[in-house]
């Protein structure tokens, strides 16, 4: 199964998914909604060469309000914490295992009006002014959504993974395509929060 989950570099080039606005600096990751550890929930993320890039291992039911994004060796990269008693679902993203100064917040979009917006990512450091740093639109359930920056440039996409050898993967295996403008760690953090908000 694992050999089919992640693509080869040649397969990525064949689908054209590694070509961005300028054809450079685009990372195509394969996200598997599964921990490599027994009895854990989480994510396993591969790059285009099939190397492990990120992992998330959550013990128990996964209903905890804290999730840690790690590199392949298990080093904490970002810590995500659900903010309690906030109006609407909101998560704070911290650097490493830091618990003091969040890098940004991800808040679920709540509106009575029909909207494609799913969530807003707001920087917690530098500047401020209340403007959202990124907006996420689309449908996470269908694995079809995009992250836009303030200038409405698409900086990341979540896409269904194409079948391999006639085998479809369903919603548990999908693509995360990240432009060079966005840190891949933050892109993956957004995916994790969306999964908790819309699972």
Q: What is the CATH number of the domain that holds 85?
A: 2.40.160.200
pLDDT at 40: 81
87: pLDDT confidence band, cut at 50, 70 and 90? low
Q: Considering only 2-11, 42-51, 134-143, which range has the smallest mean pLDDT? A: 2-11
Please determine, for residue 3, whether its predicted confidence score (pLDDT) is greater than 60. no
- Phi, psi dihedral angles at 191 (to 5 degrees): -60, -45
Does the pLDDT of residue 159 top 80, yes or no? yes
Other C-beta atoms closer than 10 Å to the C-beta of 97 total 11
* Residues sharing a CB contact under 8 Å with residue 27, sequence separation 6 or more, in sequence order: 47, 48, 177, 178, 184
pLDDT at residue 35, rounded to an integer: 87
The number of distinct structural domains making up the chain is 1
Euclidean distance between the first and the last CA atom of the chain, given in angstroms as a whole number: 23
Residue carrying structure tokens 């679902």: 89
Residue 46 buriedness (CB in 10 A; 0-12 / 13-18 / 19+): buried
Q: How does residue 98 score in pLDDT terms, banded at 50, 70 and 90? A: confident
Residue 110's domain comprises 2-198
Judge whether residue 94 has pLDDT over 70.
Answer: yes
Instruction: Specify the DSSP element, H or E, that contains 66.
Output: strand 66-71
Q: Is the pLDDT of residue 110 over 70?
A: yes
The three-class DSSP label of residue 183 is coil
Torsion angle (degrees, nearest 10) of CA 138, 160, 5, 185 = -30
């Amino acid at each position: 199964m694992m050999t089919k989950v992640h693509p080869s570099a040649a397969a990525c080039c064949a689908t054209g998914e590694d070509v961005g606005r300028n054809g450079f600096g685009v990372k195509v990751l394969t996200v598997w909604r599964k921990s490599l550890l027994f009895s854990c929930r989480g994510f396993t993320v591969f790059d285009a060469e099939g190397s492990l890039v990120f992992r998330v291992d959550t013990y128990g039911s996964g209903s905890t309000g804290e999730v840690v994004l790690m590199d392949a060796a298990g080093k904490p990269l970002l810590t995500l914490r659900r903010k309690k008693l906030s109006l609407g679902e909101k998560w704070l993203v911290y650097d490493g295992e830091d618990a003091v100064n969040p890098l940004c917040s991800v808040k679920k979009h709540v509106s009575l009006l029909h909207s494609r917006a799913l969530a807003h990512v707001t920087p917690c450091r530098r500047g401020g002014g209340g403007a959202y740093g990124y907006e996420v639109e689309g449908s996470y359930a269908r694995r079809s959504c995009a992250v836009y920056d303030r200038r409405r440039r698409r900086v990341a996409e979540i896409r269904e993974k194409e079948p391999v050898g006639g085998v479809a993967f369903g919603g548990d295996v999908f693509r995360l395509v990240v432009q060079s403008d966005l840190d891949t760690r933050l892109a993956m953090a957004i995916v994790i929060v969306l999964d908790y908000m819309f699972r």
